[in-house]
Amino acid sequence: MARSGIPIAAAWIALASYVAGCAETPRREIRLGARTDHIEGWIQAGAELSVFPDRPDRNYDPYGWNETHHCVTVVTDSPEVWTAACELDGSRVRVWGRPVLYAELDPGTSTHDVLLSKRYYKTTLVNNACLRDYIFVADRFEKL
């Protein structure tokens, strides 16, 4: 009795489909430089506002990717803009504003601030959990 090659071919097709399905999808990027006037991504409101190029997940690791794949730390000195951002938590947004180099933010003046290298935008502590060179100062948010 001759063996058919159909089961072997079917197994190869199934394996190829599985591998293709497991391939990592390209990650979105947020390019941020001195002349950037807006950014787009998914907002996460917590102790600090962050905009992510992709939907944030528990496995987010800013140390594992190129900076363009990092989230962007967002600050504002407007209570109205902060409230609007918090109401959009989890949404895809466009944020209008301007970039500021994190290293150029005001350092804290207390011994505690100096020892921990804390930085402030006006009176707001900026942790920069996204680990970018720039943070983004928001003027307004737009839901996409």
Res 126: pLDDT: 95
| pTM of the model as a whole | 0.76
In the predicted model, is pLDDT for residue 20 greater than 50? no
**Domain 29-143 classification at class level:** mainly beta
Terminal-residue alpha carbon distance, the chain:
63
Res 108: pLDDT: 87
In the numeric block, which tokens belong to residue 44?
């996460």
Over residues 50-104, the pLDDT tens digits come to 999 988 776 677 777 677 788 999 999 899 999 999 999 999 999 999 999 999 9
Tell me phi and psi for residue 114, to 5 degrees.
-65, -45
In the predicted model, is pLDDT for residue 9 greater than 50? no
The 3-class SS string of 66-95 reads CHHHCCEEEECCCHHHHHHHHHCCCCEEEE
In the predicted model, is pLDDT for residue 37 greater than 60? yes
Over residues 102-140, the pLDDT tens digits come to 999 999 889 988 888 899 999 999 999 999 999 999 999
Dihedral sign from CA coordinates of 99, 102, 106, 109? positive
Q: How far apart are CA 62 and CA 50, in angstroms?
A: 12
Tell me phi and psi for residue 28, to 5 degrees.
-75, 165
